[in-house]
Amino acid sequence: MNFLTFDEIKKNEEVNAFIEKGNYNLGLLGYTEHSQAHCMIVAQTAAMILDKFGYSKHDMELARVAGYMHDIGNAINRIHHAEYGGLLANEILKETDLNVKDRITIVSAISNHDESTGGAVDPVSAALIIADKTDVRRDRVRDEKGKAAFDIHDGVNYAVTAHKLKINVDKKTISLNLQIDPKICSMYEYFEIFLERMMMCRGAADMLGATFKLMANGSKVL
């Protein structure tokens, strides 16, 4: 990577303005949190995944940048936000010292991270997909809604009392381990919402030469 670093991107005023506006818009539409906190988790998790599987520091840095920027398209519209995000990222990154090949890798990863229109196209995009789709946690539910106003997406996220992404390099497995409160959300409801995302993770893991597994309350479910 020529000069551009993850530290520079996470301090970029334009990038952060898009993230903040996107998160605000999604809040009005009733979606869970998509703030800088989520973007930081995705960035660091994506890099960790590539690190575990022996990819270069260079690829890890590309994954961090893509992970942090992946949801900027929400500032335009939720539908096709991945593609909008890719276009925005391309324009922002053109103003940096990043070379064309690396810029395209980042833009492609962002543009392909949504389960409705995308899929893993290379290791950076695969790591981004897994990092994004496995960020399932109670504190992504917006407090201001109150439990009485929760929709099924809120209930599914709020039901997750603990989560951990485990990578076993020797067995070549990527496992999402969840503890779900059945009083809040049934396993049926969880799969109704997240099955497509988990299947996308399976395809992404395959791109990395690994198998994706989902464990819920100690039982293997995928």
What tens digit of pLDDT does each residue of 113-147 get?
999 999 999 999 999 999 999 998 888 887 755 45
- Given this model, what pLDDT does residue 167 score? 97
What tens digit of pLDDT does each residue of 80-123 get?
999 999 999 999 999 999 999 999 999 999 999 999 999 999 99
Domain range list for the chain = 6-136+151-220
Query: 194: pLDDT confidence band, cut at 50, 70 and 90?
Result: confident
Does 145 or 159 have the greater pLDDT score? 159
Phi then psi dihedrals of residue 219, to 5 deg = -115, 140
The two structure tokens encoding residue 89 = 């990222």
- Given this model, what pLDDT does residue 12 score? 97
What is the radius of gyration, based on Cα positions, of the chain? 17
What CATH number does domain 6-136+151-220 carry, 1.10.3210, 1.10.1660, 2.70.70, 3.30.310? 1.10.3210
Q: Which of 86, 103, 102, 85 is nearest to 94 (CA)?
A: 103
pTM higher than 0.75 for the full model?
yes
* For helices 152-159 and 187-207, angle between their N-to-C axes, nearest 10 degrees: 80
CA distance 219 to 169: 21
Query: 150: pLDDT confidence band, cut at 50, 70 and 90?
Result: low
- Assess contact for 60 and 49: CB atoms under 8 A: no
- Given this model, what pLDDT does residue 3 score? 67
Query: What is the arithmetic mean of pLDDT over 181-208?
Result: 88
> What is the average pLDDT value for the chain, to the nearest integer?
91
- Given this model, what pLDDT does residue 159 score? 85
- Assess contact for 195 and 156: CB atoms under 8 A: no
Does 180 or 221 have the greater pLDDT score? 180
